[in-house]
Amino acid sequence: MVYYSDWDSFEKAASELFASAADKARYTIKYRNCDAALVLKVTDDATCVQLRTGRLGDIKKIARLHRQLCQSTSLRAEKLKSRQPEFPLAQTPEKASATEKVSSKAGGA
């Protein structure tokens, strides 16, 4: 785990990590009461970047990073929804015959 000391390098590393491993990356924001500090963590299980800050001025920066990561996640979800399935869903012969039997029984009764 890497703790960054300044915001700019952490923001750059976190954005790059989140963009490179989009399907696995996640982030957490945790407040530690004993230290009166916020701990931000971005990880993809192989790489982990962290920042610990106690400065009140970093709250707006954290909110901006949070907004960027949420936007990239929602854009990624929209792209996935718009994609067509790679393999068309085919109905197996057993299921086709079973549905035909049910519909023929319903029509004849």
Report pLDDT digits (tens) over 33-88.
998 889 999 999 899 999 998 888 888 898 898 888 888 777 666 666 676 666 66
Strand 2-4 relative to strand 37-43: parallel, antiparallel, unpaired?
unpaired
Secondary structure (DSSP) of 35-58: TTEEEEEEE-SS-EEEEEE--TTH
pTM (global) more than 0.75? no
Strand 37-43 relative to strand 26-32: parallel, antiparallel, unpaired?
antiparallel
The pLDDT, as a whole number, for residue 55 is 87
Report pLDDT digits (tens) over 9-26.
999 999 888 888 877 888
Mean predicted confidence (pLDDT) in 85-92: 62
pLDDT band with cut points at 50, 70 and 90 for residue 104:
low
